[in-house]
Amino acid sequence: MGGFSLWIEGVYNSVKNEFDTNITQRIEDTVLALGITNMHKDLVHLVGQFAISG
């Protein structure tokens, strides 16, 4: 059973990383589309978190 749990954990981490990457890219694309070219990456991430949770 331990091997299966590790496999599930690996799949979860892989999907989560891909999801996070895709969301980050979409947020960065949106910020650029709004004409904001000099926003710090950490601030872009915070705006994205706010947009997703709100």
Q: Read off the pLDDT of residues 19-32 as tens digits, 9 standing for 90 and up.
A: 989 888 888 888 88
Cβ atoms of 44 and 29 within 8 Å: the answer is no
H helix intervals, the chain: 2-33, 41-53
Query: Domains of the chain: which residue ranges?
Result: 24-54
Tell me the pLDDT of the chain (54 aa) as tens digits: 689 999 999 999 999 999 989 888 888 888 888 898 888 888 887 877 777 765
The answer, as to whether pTM is greater than 0.85, is: no
